Homo-oligomer: A and B are copies of this chain.
Amino acid sequence: MRQAFGERLAAQVASTGSSLCVGIDPRGPFPSELTRGLADSRSGQGRAVERYSVALVEAVAPYCVAIKPQVALFELYGGYGLSALDAVCAAAREHGLLVIADAKRGDIASTATAYAEAWIGLRPGETEPLADAVTINAYMGPDTVEPFLTVADRMGAGLFVLARTSNPGAAELEEQELASGGQVWERVADWIATWGAERTGASGIASVGAVIGATAPAVVRAARDRMPTAPLLLPGVGAQGGRIEDLAPAFENGPAGGLVVAARSVIEAWRETDRPWQSAVAESARTHHQAITIITR
């Protein structure tokens, strides 16, 4: 039995010295050296996604604590894509990285249990979970999160619940004021805080966290106040306009209080350079890691 996710996350952040989570979003075209010899078939394309994503994991591993594969970009290749994702998660584990599957799943009752088993539990015939944590969507209510909590507790896994996301349209629902007080996302944040309070160990980091867009500094402040022990998964840095220096409040409960997600700005750093592609990616990961270290220590 593994330790609780919050304890594992805190220990990994401490041992690696990194609060960087690299988003693995495999978008083509892929480096030509990876696709040479592959057929232009569905299976060939799935293989290209796997080679590229595994190579990305290898390049960034020295500088990050976790990877966040974007499930949509694997699902796009159907069964071949999900098989590729298996290999990517295995590669991350071999490098000692945590895996946060960015699936944003949500459903009710036994269907939610099936999603939980698929991502952080045990799939039939498997002995290891695919990921250490998964992102979920709580629109349908707290009872739809409970099946995920049950599986997470059993497996020592983590959940990151969508709270206030990084897109402009977050204002249209997540930030709507409720008649009973507070905004919609704050209602979700209160659930997260409650679930997390029951799942916070010696490290002070809960096993239930929140997805908080890095594009709105005031929201990061409010999120930390509202969910004191939650790890905050912070996408939106770089291409979406979020700035690392605005994220300091996330780390008030320690360097594992936030996971700064960089995707495009790291994994596509090779596109505009003549350097070997993996070294360009590694260099960008290193730069991001260093920038984050300034605000977390």
- Chain A residues near B (Cβ < 8 Å): 25, 27, 40-42, 45, 70, 72-73, 75-83, 86, 104-112, 114-115, 117-118, 123-126, 130, 137-144, 162, 165-174, 176-180, 184, 187-188
**Contact A40–B76 (Cβ < 8 Å):** no
**Contact A45–B167 (Cβ < 8 Å):** no
Q: Which residues of B contact A139 (CB under 8 A)?
A: 137-139, 162, 173-174
Q: Which residues of B contact A42 (CB under 8 A)?
A: 123-126
| CB pairs A–B below 8 angstroms (29 shown) | A41-B125, A42-B126, A45-B125, A72-B112, A72-B114, A72-B118, A75-B82, A75-B115, A76-B118, A76-B123, A78-B83, A79-B80, A79-B81, A79-B86, A109-B167, A140-B162, A140-B169, A141-B165, A141-B168, A141-B169, A143-B169, A144-B167, A172-B187, A173-B184, A173-B188, A176-B179, A176-B187, A177-B178, A179-B179
Identical copies of this chain, number: 2
Select A124's contact among B45, B82, B124, B169, beta carbons within 8 Å. B45
Select A142's contact among B106, B115, B169, beta carbons within 8 Å. B169
Q: Which residues of B contact A187 (CB under 8 A)?
A: 172-173, 176
Q: Closest approach, in angstroms, between the C-beta of A81 and any C-beta of chain B?
A: 8
**Contact A177–B179 (Cβ < 8 Å):** yes
**Contact A78–B123 (Cβ < 8 Å):** yes
Q: Closest approach, in angstroms, between the C-beta of A22 and any C-beta of chain B?
A: 16
Q: Closest approach, in angstroms, between the C-beta of A27 and any C-beta of chain B?
A: 8
Q: Which residues of B contact A25 (CB under 8 A)?
A: 111
Select A137's contact among B106, B172, B180, beta carbons within 8 Å. B106
**Contact A180–B180 (Cβ < 8 Å):** no
**Contacts A179-B178, A184-B176; is A140 near B118 (CB within 8 Å)?**
no
Q: Which residues of B contact A137 (CB under 8 A)?
A: 104, 106, 137, 139
Select A141's contact among B45, B109, B125, B171, beta carbons within 8 Å. B171
In the bound complex, what is the Cα–Cα distance between A86 and B139 (angstroms)? 28
In the bound complex, what is the Cα–Cα distance between A75 and B115 (angstroms)? 7
**Contact A172–B117 (Cβ < 8 Å):** no
Instruction: Tell me the nearest residue of chain B to A108, going by C-beta.
Output: B167
**Contacts A83-B79, A180-B176; is A40 near B125 (CB within 8 Å)?**
yes
In the bound complex, what is the Cα–Cα distance between A72 and B83 (angstroms)? 16
Q: Which residues of B contact A140 (CB under 8 A)?
A: 162, 165, 167, 169-170, 173-174
